[in-house]
């Protein structure tokens, strides 16, 4: 089925203990471990784009062999399954060894165009890193991970991918609300796919244990295999402090880029612990994530974080920095100089701000960032519950109509509500004179700036619609798909995946998927708030 090239296990030190029991693992980057078989696997969905990348046809994906492999029942010749050893800072505190507690890397394969991918099962049974947990995953979190990985890919956000979602036929016990009411839930396995699943935490655990030897091996391996351009251009400098510092700066830039994308599409990761930060700058570990509905920078979907709001939407860029500082500390033995590391961190800030400004200007269809306009926009979005996605999408349409010089007034109703923006407002009952004035002022300022712009309003609408998605994986849409699958109907997953394939296209037949969150979903678990239980 695949062409294998298992480099992680070939080139890096592994655990010498072959038995699968929970323990601390020293002097190694991974432990070999096999998935636990499941009784009655059923394929819920697969991603045809990911399958194509891997060289798999539709017939391959519908085959019995595919089901057996991606449920964990069969390990193919050439696969070399392992779980990674990593640590992490969770909610600001060092947590020691974590590791792949329920993820098993099956193999590294070479796909289309010689691209390399690691195939990883999540929820396929315990590993040496499972600590007190069972190594399993439930349907709801697995389906959310499967769909969101692919949705993010189609949105153009750097992300790990997903190949398949399989029901195991075995229930898993979870206390979803942590209130002493454990329930049986259907178990599932997702096959995740990425060039590599290495995290900040893989370096941190070696740093914390002062295992400089393995730290250098892992770092060199990562640079050579995951940053091949950097490696090739700097090969003569390997092992020099500047070599590692400059590579760290590249990690900083990639992390900044990922943050800007999250802010663009309104994605809230929910658990930005350092073990959930990919060294490649990919969005990784979809847990209690959420999509911003009404614009609120302090919003977090994660009920565990409801008090501290450490990982709220607006905090994410700063937390990115905090996490990079942890990574810099871990890499200290390789650099041993403050300045180059500090310069790299400084570059994170600068790169983030530069990219954020370009992104915000693009969201508004403008060639340049205008600070007072953007500040005013965020104030406006915060003064009445406004859907972040719909607002920008509708604004693209609004400007096309309202920019011509003589017709500003006709785009407001009697109460001063801009007609074309109405779909974005959650609670027009709270519309007031003050909000009307603020809205008119801001739209007026925006319009004047646009009138100075060379682009035609029609071209501008098109360019705005390329950065402002119409379709995101609204929290309640994922929940509806979960409910359907739990009832045995898999078709809503395929439908949703289909719509999310083209998030920037109008797809008028799919308008219902673009609507703002319905009122019933406002306080329903799984729709507006999620626990970490998964």
Binning the chain into helix, strand and coil, the percentages to the nearest 5 are: 50, 15, 35
Q: Output 197 or 476, the one with its CB closest to Mg ion.
A: 197
| Residue 205 interacting entry, from ligand AMP, Mg ion, none, C-beta within 5 to 8 Å by type | none
- The nearer residue to ligand AMP, 14 or 99, going by C-beta atoms, is 99
CB 199 → ligand AMP: shortest distance, Å? 9
Supply the minimum distance, in Å, between the C-beta of residue 8 and ligand AMP: 17
Closer by beta carbon to ligand AMP, 123 or else 207: 123
In the sheet with 103-110, reading across from the earlier edge strand, the strands are 30-32, 82-84, 103-110, 116-122, 183-194, 161-174, 42-46
Short-list 266, 190, 292, 290, CA closest to 530: 290
Return d(Cα 194, Cα 118) in angstroms, integer: 5
- Give me the 211-230 binding string for Mg ion, x by CB under 5 A, dash otherwise: --------------------
**Which one of ligand AMP, Mg ion, none interacts with residue 136, CB within 5 to 8 A by kind?**
ligand AMP
The pairing of beta strand 82-84 with beta strand 93-97: unpaired
Phi-psi label, residue 169: left if phi above 0, alpha if psi -120 to 50, beta otherwise: left
d(CA 295, CA 525): 20
Query: Do 170 and 39 form a contact (C-beta atoms < 8 A)?
Result: yes
Dihedral angle computed from the Cα positions of residues 503, 506, 507 and 511, in that order, rounded to the nearest 10 degrees: 90
Residue 189 DSSP code: E
- Say which entry of Mg ion, ligand AMP, none residue 15 contacts (CB below 5 to 8 A, set by partner kind): none
For ligand AMP, the closer of residues 100 and 293 by Cβ is: 100
What phi-psi label fits residue 119: left (phi over 0), alpha (psi between -120 and 50 degrees) or beta? beta
User: Interface with Mg ion includes 276 (CB under 5 A)?
Assistant: yes
| Residues linked to residue 412 through DSSP beta bridges, in sequence order | 418
134 binds, among ligand AMP, Mg ion, none (CB under 5 to 8 A by kind): ligand AMP
- For CA atoms 277, 195, 150, 250, give the dihedral sign: positive
Binding of ligand AMP by 136 (CB under 6 A):
yes
Q: Name which position in 57, 62, 76, 133 contacts ligand AMP (CB under 6 A).
A: 133
Nearest residue (CB) to ligand AMP, 129 versus 247: 129
Considering only residues 328 through 357, tell me which ones interact with ligand AMP, judged by CB under 6 A.
Answer: none
- The closest residue (CB) to ligand AMP is 101
**What is the smallest separation between the CB atom of 141 and ligand AMP, expressed in angstroms?**
9
Which residues, at least 6 apart from 357, have a Cβ–Cβ distance to it below 8 Å?
369
Q: DSSP letters along 149-179, please?
A: HHHHHHHT--B-EEEEEEEEEEEEEE-TTSS
**Three-state SS for 534?**
coil
> Among this protein's residues, is 179 annotated catalytic?
no
Q: Please, what is the minimum distance in Å from the beta carbon of residue 189 to ligand AMP? A: 12
Q: Say which entry of Mg ion, ligand AMP, none residue 51 contacts (CB below 5 to 8 A, set by partner kind).
A: none
The pattern of x and - marking residues 272 through 311 that bind ligand AMP according to CB under 6 A reads ---xx--------x-x------------------------
Cα 356 from chain centre:
18
Chain residues 87-116 in contact with ligand AMP, contact rule CB under 6 A: 98-102
Binding of Mg ion by 285 (CB under 5 A): yes
Taking only Cα atoms into account, the Rg of the chain, rounded to an integer number of angstroms, comes to: 24
Distance from C-alpha of 1 to C-alpha of 66, rounded to nearest angstrom? 9
Nearest distance, CB of residue 437 and ligand AMP, angstroms: 45
Contact string (CB under 6 A) for ligand AMP, positions 18-37, x = contact:
--------------------
The item of Mg ion, ligand AMP, none sharing an interface with residue 102, based on CB under 5 to 8 Å by kind, is ligand AMP
Stretch that binds ligand AMP, among 110-118, 145-153, 271-279, 405-413 (CB under 6 A): 271-279
Q: Which does 108 bind (CB under 5 to 8 A by kind): ligand AMP, Mg ion, none?
A: none
**What residue spans of 19-81 are helical by DSSP H?**
48-53, 58-61, 64-70
280 binds, among Mg ion, ligand AMP, none (CB under 5 to 8 A by kind): none
Terminus-to-terminus CA distance in the chain, angstroms?
Answer: 31
275 burial (CB, 10 Å; 0-12 / 13-18 / 19+) is buried
Catalytic residue chosen out of the listed positions 275, 285, 294, 387: 275
Known catalytic residues are 275
Return residues touching Mg ion (CB under 5 A).
Answer: 276, 285
Which residues form the interface with ligand AMP (CB under 6 A)?
98-102, 129-130, 133-136, 271, 275-276, 285, 287
């Amino acid at each position: 089925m695949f062409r294998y090239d298992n480099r992680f296990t070939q080139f890096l030190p592994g655990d010498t203990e072959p038995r699968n029991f929970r323990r601390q693992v020293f002097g190694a980057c991974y432990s070999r471990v096999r998935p636990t078989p499941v009784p009655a696997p059923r394929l819920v969905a697969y991603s045809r784009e990911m399958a194509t990348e891997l060289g798999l046809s539709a017939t391959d994906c519908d085959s019995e062999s595919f089901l057996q492999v991606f449920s964990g029942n069969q390990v193919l010749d050439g696969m070399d399954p392992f779980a990674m050893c990593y640590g992490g800072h969770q909610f600001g505190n060092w947590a020691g060894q974590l590791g792949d507690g329920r993820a098993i890397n099956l193999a590294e394969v070479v796909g289309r165009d010689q691209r390399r991918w690691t195939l990883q099962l999540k929820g396929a049974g315990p590993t040496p890193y499972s600590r007190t947990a069972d190594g399993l995953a439930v349907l709801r979190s697995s389906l959310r991970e499967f769909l969101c990985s692919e949705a993010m890919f189609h949105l153009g956000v750097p992300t790990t991918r997903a190949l398949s979602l399989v029901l195991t036929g075995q229930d898993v016990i979870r206390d979803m609300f942590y209130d002493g009411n454990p329930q049986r839930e259907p178990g599932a396995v997702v096959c995740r796919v990425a060039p590599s699943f290495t995290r900040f935490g893989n370096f941190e655990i070696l740093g914390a244990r002062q295992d400089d030897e393995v730290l250098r091996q892992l770092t060199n391996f990562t640079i050579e295999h995951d940053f091949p351009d950097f490696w090739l251009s700097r090969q003569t400098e390997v092992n020099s402090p500047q070599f590692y510092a400059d590579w760290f700066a590249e990690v900083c830039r990639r992390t900044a880029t990922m943050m800007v994308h999250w802010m663009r599409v309104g994605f809230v990761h929910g658990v930005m612990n350092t073990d959930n930060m990919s060294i490649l700058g990919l969005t990784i570990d979809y847990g209690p994530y959420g999509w911003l509905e009404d614009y609120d920078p302090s919003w977090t979907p994660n009920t565990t974080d409801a008090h501290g709001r450490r990982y709220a939407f607006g905090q994410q860029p700063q937390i990115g920095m905090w996490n990079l500082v942890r990574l810099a500390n871990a890499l200290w033995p390789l650099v041993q100089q403050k300045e180059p590391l500090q310069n790299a961190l400084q570059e994170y800030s600068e790169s983030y701000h530069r990219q954020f400004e370009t992104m915000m200007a693009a969201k508004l269809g403008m060639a340049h960032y205008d600070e007072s306009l953007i500040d005013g926009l965020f104030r406006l979005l915060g003064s009445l519950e406004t859907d972040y996605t719909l607002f920008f999408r509708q604004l693209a349409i609004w400007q096309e109509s309202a920019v011509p010089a003589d017709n500003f007034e006709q785009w407001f109703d009697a109460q001063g509500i801009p007609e074309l923006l109405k779909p974005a407002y959650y609670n027009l009952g709270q519309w007031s004179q003050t909000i009307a004035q603020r809205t008119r002022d801001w739209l007026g300022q925006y319009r004047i700036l646009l009138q100075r712009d060379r682009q035609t309003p029609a071209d501008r609408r098109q360019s705005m619609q390329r950065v402002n998605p119409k379709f995101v994986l609204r929290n309640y849409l994922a929940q509806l798909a979960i409910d359907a699958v739990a009832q045995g109907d898999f078709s809503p997953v395929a439908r949703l995946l289909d719509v999310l394939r083209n998030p920037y296209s109008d797809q008028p037949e799919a308008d219902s998927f673009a609507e703002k969150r319905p009122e019933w979903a406002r306080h329903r678990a799984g729709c507006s708030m999620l626990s970490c239980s998964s």
